[in-house]
């Protein structure tokens, strides 16, 4: 490689040599974005059109060059993290540059030791040009992020929050901004005391109501240790359940950047099945790995409450949102306002965790977009939630879509992940995770979760699943029938939908509205559009009920809700005033459903900024009201008729 030869001529000393392979290509769109962004040292303000661009894609690393400066210095402390078995720790980065500029930046790289000779090629990918990089940074900050005096003195101190990601880290100082980075100094190596430790448990409902699954990440493959969960009732007998182990390779990815410079080994993903749980019982658990020398490695202790018996009449509380993504508490990567509400949503849920029983994140999970290090960042962010209550996900365009891989939409939104990361990092109760549709019962709720990245139209396998899920709901046990999906298959006043001459995905309502009406779906919730909107009970674009906040008795229509404001940059509404839209909010937020009993359901929309309730309604009815219109015994009528 030309760059590799250049390295030898310079006779660079480690660790600068280790980070040389940063020099490489990036997607054309990202290059244009980076060029437009150059010079934005403090990250204040976002150039038009850049909000929502994956921050790591903004670094035009293919334009990087070597300008190693012996008088420049970057030093990180402490060098050994997690001595108290913490999986998160802050480090101090002290740096000096003899020629400081407002566009100097610091990138964090992991693993710390790179070798340009091992960089893979992407055969047949016209977007890639040599030299190929081995890895992008996992996060970055501008040098003047916390100290505007840096451009005068050349000295500053930054703070980074590091999480255990199964490998060591190095920090590199660049000048020239994101569009034309020049490597001038590399730091010492930093690592966690046990980089392989079991971390970030994610609970999920099993295929049976009395089964809980636990998925976690570690650095231990099956040739090193046996994974298991030690669990049991609080203060009761503890037992052990074995776990299966999965991992991924570059060849599992469908394209770049996931397959090339965005690739980072995701570790080993373990899943254990805890069975025959007693309803509503509190259980404690620890993740364990038995090494072949007989010793054990343990996680922290966690606990969860088992699911209620199907149909059980008790207080049951459900959180639903889409499109949250991740953000960095140290301010890294957020210079283009990528996921501005992500931490607010996460923190509000953590604050109210004692009043939450299950969470549904309906698509666009991490927005990693092919930068695999971001899945660790996301699972670390939601750990307080996902380790305590089931964290159920749906497939979105940023998880699945990639050309020629079977996705319904032929876009490149997944960054080459093509669903593989979502299907591996999280468990959902389906026999084939590539078909990411499933149903799950929780007490008085039946949830039917569709996969909008695969064909849902009449006659397809997914359509048959949706009808079966809706038709088999026992409304005496599960009076609250909820439909969930990522893209809006129902109703939305989104600007882009209106521009396309529709108010939902093409063929959405045409294919599914008859099913929602026939089986009396109470509420259909969607993400994808990054705002909040609620409709009246609606059928064929007409309200079937004039009530807005308290629905009593027979509901002859489904209420549609867009709740895609989980954290990502917000979506504009159309100026068209649709008759079926009751409430709109251009802000980040989430929905909470509270079933008090078989006859009373409370719906609340809460803002992520303060947790306040800004929209709500109730449904009150008896079982006879459900029977009155199941199935096809009520003619579909609207207010107009």
pLDDT confidence of residue 631? 63
Residues comprising the chain, all counted: 641
| Res 67: pLDDT | 85
CA–CA distance, 438 with 315 (Å, rounded to integer):
24
Among residues of the chain, what percentage have pLDDT more than 70?
A: 86
SS3 category, 353: helix
Assigned token pair, 349: 């849920």
Least confident of 16-25, 451-460, 599-608: 16-25
Tell me the three-class secondary structure of 109-139, residue by residue.
ECCCCCCHHHCCCCCCCCCCCCCCCCCCCCE
Report the side by side order of strands in the sheet with 65-66.
65-66, 182-186, 170-175, 105-109, 139-142
Q: What is the pTM of this model?
A: 0.91
**How large is the average pLDDT for residues 525-537?**
98
Residue 633 burial (C-beta neighbours within 10 Å; 0-12, 13-18, 19+): exposed
CA distance 128 to 263: 14
Average pLDDT over residues 118-139: 57
- Over residues 500-512, the mean pLDDT reads 89
Q: How does pLDDT run across 70-103, given as a tens digit for each residue?
A: 999 999 999 999 998 899 999 999 999 999 999 9
Q: Is 456 left (phi over 0), alpha (psi -120 to 50) or beta?
A: alpha
Confidence bin at 118 (pLDDT 50/70/90): low
CA dist., res. 274 & res. 258, Å (int): 33
Contacts of 5 (CB under 8 A, 6+ apart): none
The answer to whether residues 231 and 252 touch, using CB atoms and an 8 Å cutoff, is no
Strand locations in 43-188 (E): 65-66, 73-77, 80-81, 88-96, 105-109, 139-142, 155-163, 170-175, 182-186
Number of Cβ within a 10 Å radius of residue 292? 9
Assign 637 a pLDDT band (cuts: 50, 70, 90).
low
pLDDT at 149: 94
| Of 17-26, 431-440, 566-575, minimum mean pLDDT range | 17-26
d(CA 580, CA 493): 10
pLDDT of 63 higher than 80:
no
Could you report the per-residue pLDDT of 280-308, keeping only the tens digit for each? 999 999 999 999 999 999 999 999 999 99
pLDDT tens digit sequence for 52-61: 689 999 987 7
- Section 264-281 average pLDDT: 97
Quickly count: other Cβ atoms within 10 Å of residue 496's Cβ. Answer: 12
Least confident of 154-163, 213-222, 256-265: 256-265
CA distance 469 to 340: 35
Residue 14 clears pLDDT 70, i.e. is over it: no
Say yes or no to pLDDT of 578 above 80: yes
Given a contact cutoff of 8 angstroms between Cβ atoms, the answer to whether 238 and 232 are in contact is yes
H or E stretch at 221: none
Q: What is the DSSP string of 513-561?
A: HHHHHHTT-SEEEE-SSSSEEEEEEEETTEES---SSEEES---SEEEE
- 279: three-class secondary structure by DSSP: coil
Q: What is the pLDDT of residue 205?
A: 97
φ, ψ for residue 419, nearest 5 deg: 90, -10
Average pLDDT of the segment spanning 334-344: 85
Cα 4 from Cα 17, distance rounded (Å)? 9
Q: Is 32 helix (H, G, I), strand (E, B) or coil?
A: helix
Query: Is the link from the previous residue into 257 a cis peptide, with omega within 30 of 0?
Result: yes
| pLDDT at residue 338 in the model | 83
Report the run of H or E that residue 375 belongs to, with start and end: helix 373-381
Q: In whole numbers, what is the pLDDT of the chain averaged over residues?
A: 88
Residue 129: band (very low, low, confident or very high) from pLDDT cuts 50, 70, 90: very low
The whole-number average pLDDT for the span 335-355 is 92
Write down the pLDDT at residue 632.
63
**Are the CB atoms for 23 and 133 separated by under 8 Å?**
yes
Q: pLDDT tens-digit profile of 363-415? A: 999 999 999 999 999 999 999 999 999 999 999 999 999 999 999 999 999 99
Which residues contact residue 308 at a Cβ distance below 8 angstroms, ignoring those fewer than 6 apart? 279, 280, 314, 316, 442, 443
Model pLDDT, residue 427: 97
More confident residue, 334 or 259: 259
Residue 70, pLDDT score: 93
Do β-strands 542-543 and 550-552 pair in parallel, antiparallel, or remain unpaired?
unpaired
β-pairing verdict for 532-539 and 558-563: antiparallel
For residue 209, which of 447, 510, 486, 533 has the smallest C-alpha distance?
A: 447
Please enumerate in sequence order all residues whose Cβ is within 8 A of that of 518, keeping only pairs 6 or more positions apart, or say none: 470, 631, 632
Nearest C-alpha neighbor of 325 from the set 42, 559, 568: 568
Measure the CA–CA gap between 528 and 273, rounded to whole angstroms.
31
| Confidence at residue 51, expressed as pLDDT on a 0 to 100 scale | 58
Burial of 524 (0-12, 13-18, 19+ CB in 10 A): buried
The DSSP bridge partners found for residue 319 are 359, 592
User: What average pLDDT score do residues 505-529 get?
Assistant: 93
């Amino acid at each position: 490689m030309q760059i590799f030869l250049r390295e030898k001529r310079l006779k660079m000393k480690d660790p600068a040599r280790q980070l040389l392979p940063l020099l490489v290509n990036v997607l054309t769109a990202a290059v244009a974005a980076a060029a437009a962004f150059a010079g934005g040292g403090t990250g204040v303000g976002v150039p038009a059109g850049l909000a929502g661009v994956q921050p790591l894609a903004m670094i035009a690393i293919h334009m990087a060059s070597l300008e190693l400066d012996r008088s420049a210095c970057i030093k990180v402390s402490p060098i050994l993290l997690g001595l108290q078995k913490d999986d998160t720790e802050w480090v101090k980065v002290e740096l000096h540059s003899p020629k400081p500029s407002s566009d100097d930046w610091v990138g964090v790289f992991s693993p710390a030791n790179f070798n340009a000779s091992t960089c893979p090629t992407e055969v047949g990918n016209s977007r890639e040009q040599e030299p190929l990089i081995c890895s992008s940074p996992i996060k970055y900050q501008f040098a003047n992020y916390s100290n505007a005096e840096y451009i005068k003195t050349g000295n500053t101190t930054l703070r980074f929050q590091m999480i255990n990601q199964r490998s060591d880290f190095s920090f590199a100082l660049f000048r020239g901004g994101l569009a034309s980075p020049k490597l001038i100094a590399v730091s010492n190596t930093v690592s966690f005391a046990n980089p392989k430790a079991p971390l970030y448990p994610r609970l999920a409902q099993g295929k049976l109501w009395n089964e809980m699954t636990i998925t976690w990440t570690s650095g231990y493959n099956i040739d090193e240790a046996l994974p298991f969960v030690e669990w049991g009732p609080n203060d009761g007998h503890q037992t052990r359940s074995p776990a299966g182990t999965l991992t991924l390779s570059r060849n599992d990815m469908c394209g770049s950047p996931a397959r090339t410079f965005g690739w980072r080994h995701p570790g080993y993903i373990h899943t254990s099945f805890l069975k025959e749980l007693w309803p509503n019982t509190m259980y404690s658990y620890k993740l364990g790995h038995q090494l072949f020398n007989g010793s054990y490695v343990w996680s922290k202790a966690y606990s969860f409450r088992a699911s209620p018996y199907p149909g059980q009449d008790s207080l049951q509380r459900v959180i639903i949102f889409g499109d949250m993504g991740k953000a960095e508490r140290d301010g890294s990567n957020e210079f283009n306002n990528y996921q501005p509400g992500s931490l607010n949503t996460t923190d509000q849920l953590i604050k109210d965790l004692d009043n939450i029983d299950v969470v549904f994140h309906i698509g666009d999970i991490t927005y990693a977009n092919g930068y695999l290090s971001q899945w660790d960042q996301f699972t670390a962010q939601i750990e307080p939630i996902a380790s305590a209550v089931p964290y159920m996900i749906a497939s979105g365009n940023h998880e699945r879509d990639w050309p020629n891989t079977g996705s319904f939409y032929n876009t490149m939104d997944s960054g080459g992940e093509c669903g593989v990361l979502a299907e591996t990092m999280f468990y959902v109760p389906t026999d084939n995770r590539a078909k990411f549709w499933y149903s799950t019962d929780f007490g008085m709720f039946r949830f039917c979760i569709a996969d909008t990245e695969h064909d849902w139209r009449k006659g397809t396998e997914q359509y048959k699943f949706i009808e079966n899920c809706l038709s088999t709901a026992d409304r005496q046990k599960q009076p609250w029938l909820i439909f969930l999906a990522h893209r809006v298959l129902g109703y939305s006043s989104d600007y882009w939908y209106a521009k396309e001459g529709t108010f939902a995905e093409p063929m959405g309502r045409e294919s599914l509205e008859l099913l929602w009406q026939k089986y009396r779906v109470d509420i259909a919730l969607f993400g994808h559009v990054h705002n909040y909107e609620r409709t009246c009970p609606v059928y064929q674009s007409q309200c079937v009920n004039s009530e807005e906040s308290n629905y009593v008795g027979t509901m002859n229509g489904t209420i549609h809700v867009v709740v895609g404001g989980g954290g990502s940059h917000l979506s504009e509404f159309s100026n068209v005033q649709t008759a079926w839209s009751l409430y709109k909010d251009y802000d980040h937020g989430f929905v909470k459903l509270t079933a008090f009993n078989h006859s009373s359901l409370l719906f609340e929309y809460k803002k992520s900024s303060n947790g306040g309730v800004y929209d709500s309604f109730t449904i009150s009815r008896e079982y006879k009201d459900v029977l009155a219109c199941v199935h096809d015994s009520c003619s579909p009528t609207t207010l107009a008729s």
